[in-house]
Every structure is written in structure tokens, then in C-alpha cells.
Structure 1
Amino acid sequence: MSAAPLQYLLHAAGPASAPAYKLGWALIGLVCAVMLIIAILLVGALARRRPKSPAGTEDKLPPDTGGMNWIVIGTGISSIALFAALVYAMTTLESVASPAHDPLMTIDVTSYDWWWKIEYTDAADSSRAFVTANEIHIPVGVPVRVELRSADVIHTFWAPQLAGKTEMIPGQTNEQWIEADTPGVYRGQCSQFCGVQHAHMAFEVVAQPRAEFDAWADAQRGGAQPVTTPDARTGQHIFGERCAGCHSVRGTPAAGMQAPDLTHLASRRLIAAGQTTNTPAHQLDWIEHAQRIKPGSLMPSIALSASDAAALSAYLSTLH
């Protein structure tokens, strides 16, 4: 299991983000040019000295208007540059407002303190819909519409290599679209301060070839596999008593709605909204020390005996 990918800010990986990156570099260049010009003018002003007037003739010298001329010229150039930057920015926003082709699918993303609920809908066949958490899979080379909602406070959905930021506001549905040029794992983040664990509210976008994506989606639509070992059955019982009030596992009595769906937990790269890799040891560490790992989250720290921990781990490993 590899670690979480870096959240690159200097490289675009899709058509929804490439124009914004070009705009960003252009604005950085403009700012640097302005700073350089100001520095040169400042050095010139410090180096320039007005000759001293002979004693008794100060009032007879004409006023020095050179400085005012430079102010007028500088103001004019700055106004033109800023207006050009505004036109370029508006043109860029228009170019990324919608994809060149109709989106292949729509994904509903709901933000919570501090995790992401991902729902794959199917208007033609509701039985093909499924739910996951903190990990968005998309096929490579096709646009995907993302509908964004918040369940509590204002969050911001941001996968910088794939698209710009979009606010997630309670009671309001916003949209954006994402598309990946190449297969890979692209890190995303909430970029709106939303509480004490704002910095630990990440997600991943996994871009796959179409055949791999279809296979992943088909597997996600199924429910949990029946448990077959005594340890796993004991672990399922413990899960029902300690975890099912918040978490759901499709195909079992566990139907909690307050926390991530864990039907296919073992198939995910990361847990706890990007906090750690998804290994059995890290799963147990998260269960037993959630408030140490992510203080303020709704996930409580659950004390487990050694035998209960082993049984619960055996059950979670069956959730492929």
C-alpha cells in the first residue's frame, strides 16, 4: 500500500485545470514584472538627487514635475495590465465552465466534518447506484460531472490537478466537472477552513482506464460477502454492537447513516479521509485511538480487548 500522493500545485492533469494553470502562471509573471519595475524605479529615485539651490534662490527654481510624469505613465500602464488580466481571467473561467463533451456520469459528493460521502447515481437504473467514501474513481479521458453538497458547514472541494475550487454550502447544490488525461491517483482537499480537522479532510481521485473503472464499479455495486470463519463471525457481531449505529455494510443489518459506508472498506487505499494507509494495523489503531489521531471528529475511540480486536480485524478484512 503506497502512501498518499502529494497534492501537486504546479502541474495540470486535465482539461478543466490546464487553462487555470496557464492563467496562474501569467498572473505570477505579471506580479513579478510589477515588483521588478517598482524596485527599479525605487532605486532610481533613491539614486537621483535634485541639485541644491544657491542660497537665497530656492523660491526662484521651477518645480520638479518629472516625478508626476512618471506617476501618470505608471498608472496608465498598470491600468492597462490589470484590465488585460481581468479579460484573460474571465475568458479562462468561461473556457472551464463546461466540458467540450457531455459528461459520462454524475457523481454526488457530500461533505461532512471531516470526510466525504461519494454516491454514484444511475438515472436509468437505480439498482446500479452505490455509495463509497473519500475515494472517487473516474475513467480516463472523459468528463465527469460532480454535484457538491454539504451536510454541516461550508467546505470546498478541490482537486488541484483536475479542476479549480468549488464551494460546498449547506442547503445548496453546486457543480463542477473533472477529467483526467492519464491514469493515476490525484489528491484532493477541503480548502475552506471548516473546523479543527480541516487540514485532515482529504480525498483521492483515482483515474483508471475504462475497463478497469467498469470492473471496479461492478465490484462496488455488490454487497458484502458472507463471512465464513469463526473469527470473522465474531468480528461481525462486535461490529454490529459497536459500529453499526454509525456505519453501514450493505448486505448486512448494519445500516448506520452518520459515517462512511464500509461495504468495500478493504478495497480503499486510505482511511480516515486520507490520514493513514489502509492496513489491518492502521484500521485497529484508528478504531482504538480515533480521538488521538483526529481530535474533534465524530468517530469515538473504542476500547477493545486483544481478542475482540483480532476478531474485528478478521471481519473488516472480508469487506473487499
Structure 2
Amino acid sequence: MIRYVFFAGVLAIVSSPIALAKDTAAPLNYFLHSAGPASSPTMVLGWVLTTVVAAVFLIITLLLTVALLRKRTVEDPQAIGPENQGMAWIYIGTGVSSCILFALVIYVLITLNTIANPTRTPALTLTVTGYDWWWKVEYEENDAARYFATANEIHIPVGEPVLVKLKSADVIHAFWVPLLAGKTQMIPGLVNRQWLEADVPGIYRGQCTQYCGLQHAHMGFEIVAQNPADFRKWLDEQRRDAAPSSALEVDTGKEFFMTHCSGCHSIRGLGAAGAHAPDLTHLTTRRLIAAGLLANTPENRIKWITHAQELKPGARMPSFALSSGEIAALSAFLSTLN
């Protein structure tokens, strides 16, 4: 039975990377793939550490197998041997393992130093603040008129290093985009820093990796890497104020929003300046809502508004009981936020 379990484990170890290699777009497939210079050194470090762990596993397994299969007679006076006979192997094993561990420590420190700073001045500076359980993203500018904030979706230009200042508004969170960079803690009262750079356009999944409460698993975000021209276009669009139409249903939805939602949410240009929940100025341009929980569709927006506590128990977003008319008006208004 032990033999079968052992071979099944080895088969799983060998086959898992092969299966992952077939899907390079897997959200957390960072062991075999890197999409930026800040993650490549840590990926190689992962390979080295995995190789060492696998080697130790195989050596110990081999020694245990030999010990189990070796035949000894009870009458053999040398079955155990003098106490000092096996000490040489203990000294050798301790010395070799200590040298290997010391070399690994040096390699880890070299890797940390390599990824500590970008090779050139960052083209963009962002401030990301972790909340229970969503992400506020602020695009810093010297000109206050060009400043804006968004939520749960970070756009960056391809081929350019981006400095990310990391804060927490409540408890300890951790910012991690596996294909682009390592993990960095977000500690209340401190500002930590990390840098990102994407080699190719794409959407890269990120996640909070420090347990932060009931909905920790539903605290995701996305990095959208765009070519520089598309990124500049996106920046210009995000800096605009909201401009909803003046249709009757839209006006009714706007009035409902300003009465019930503007205390927490903000929409630039409409006077809604809540600071406790995501900025919704350009809501419909985002792929996901609720920190990656739902696709951003009109149906899901209303589903989130009316069933937030069922979808994400413990979140600060309450569930609203709305009439069919209120749902239609609010949905019409939110659909104009592009």
C-alpha cells in the first residue's frame, strides 16, 4: 500500500507541471511563466528551491527504502554496530546540508536585492490601499486636476516600470500579482513600495494573500497591461468627469443614487464624494465588480446591489430591497457611467 501511495505522489509531482504548461493563462501559473522582470528572478528561485526539496525528498525516500528492505539476522552481533560507527555519516550529512542551506540563503538575498528596485526610473506612480475587502487605486499626478481614483483594476503601460505605494486602511493585507512581482505586505500606518513591469499586453490576476477576514478569498484585482498609446487613451478617458444623459429614467436613478449611495461612493462631476467605497465615475469600463467576484454586467450590478450580503457576507456593502421601478432606474443610471 505504501509503495502505491509513493508512486502516486511521484506521478502527481511530475504530471502537474506538464498539465500547467498546457495552460499558460492560468491565473496563478507563476511557477512556469513570468511576464515581467520583477517576477523572473523569483520564478527561477522557485525552481532552485523546488529542485533542492525534491532532491532531499528522493534521498530520504531512498534511504528509508534501503532500511526497510535490508535483511539482518537477530544473531548478527554487528546488526547495530558500535556507537561511533555511524557518527561519521551524521557529521558528513550535517556539514553538506549546512553548506547547501548557507548557499541558498545567499542566493535568496541576492534575488531580493535584484528585484528591490527597477532598472530605470518608474514611468508611473500609483497608490494602492487595501480595504476589507476591495482595493482603491490612485493615479498620482503633480497637477491635482489630473488626479483620479479607481477600484480593483490597475492599468499600466507595457514595457515601463511602475512604482506602487501600498497602504492599508484597516488590517494587514498583502499585494500579489504572481506573474509580475512577488508579495508585499500592506500594514496599517506604513507605506510599503513595490514595482511592476509587464513585458506583453494582457490581464494579470492579483490577490490579497494575507488572511484579512471573512471575505479574504474574494479580495482580488486585475492588472491590465496596455501598449503605451492605449494606456494614454485610457488615462485621458478616466480623468473625465461623469456625464450621464438627462433621460427621465436616468435622472430618477441618479436621484436614488445621490440619496442612498453617495455617502460611501463617489462619482466625479456629480457631487457624490463618499470615501468609504469604490469610486464609480467610470464604472462600466471595468471588467469585474466586487473585487473580482462578478463580471461587470447590468444584471450583475443589480444582483450585487440587492444581494451583496448573500454574495459576500460581512462586506460593508449592504443588500438593498428595491422595487422593480427603482431597479430599472438605478440600472439605467449606472449604465451611463462610462
Instruction: Normalising by structure 1, report the TM-score.
Output: 0.94
Question: Does residue 37 in structure 1 map to residue 37 in structure 2?
Answer: no
State the 4+ residue runs in structure 1 displaced beyond 6 angstroms: none
The number of equivalent residue pairs is: 312
1:74-124 Cα shifts (integer Å, max 9, x gaps): 11211111111111111100100001111011100001000000000112x
Q: 2:219 aligns with which of 186, 201, 211?
A: 201
Contact 1:5 1:187 in 2 (8 A): no
Q: Distance in 1 between matches of 2:75 and 2:88?
A: 22
Provide, for residues 111-146 of structure 1, a one-character-per-residue CA deviation record: whole Å limited to 9, x for no partner: 1000000000112x2211110000000000010000
Quote the RMSD (CA, aligned, Å).
Answer: 1.7
Alignment partner, residue 8 of structure 1? 29
| 1:305 alignment partner in structure 2 | 323
Greater RCO (Cα-Cα under 8 Å, separation 6 or more): 1
Unaligned runs of 5+ in 2: 1-24
Q: Which residue of 1 aligns with 2:128?
A: 109
1:62-81 CA-partner distances (Å, limit 9, x unpaired): 72644322222211211111
Q: In 1, are the aligned partners of 2:134 and 2:151 still within 8 Å (CA)?
A: yes
Secondary structure at the aligned position of 1:176 is classed as: strand
**Correspondences of 1:125-136 after superposition (within 5 Å):** 125-136=143-154
Residues 163-178 of structure 1: pairs in structure 2 closer than 5 A: 163-178=181-196
- 1:32 positional shift: 0.4
How far, CA to CA, are the matches of 1:259 and 1:276 in structure 2? 17
Matched letter for residue 289 of structure 2: I
Match of 2:48 in 1: 26
Q: What 5-or-longer segments of structure 1 have no aligned partner? A: none
Q: How does 1:17-166 map to 2 (within 5 A)?
A: 17-49=39-71, 52-53=74-75, 63=82, 65-123=84-142, 125-166=143-184
Percent identity over the alignment?
57
CA distance in 1, matches of 2:323, 2:216: 32
Q: Following the alignment from structure 2 to structure 1, what is the Cα–Cα distance between the partners of residues 26 and 53?
A: 30
Are 1:119 and 1:131, in contact at CA under 8 Å, matched by a contact in 2? yes
Q: Distance in 2 between matches of 1:52 and 1:267?
A: 78
* Distance (Å, rounded) in 2 between the aligned partners of 1:304 and 1:213: 38
For residues 5 and 312 of structure 1, what CA distance do their matches in structure 2 show?
A: 35
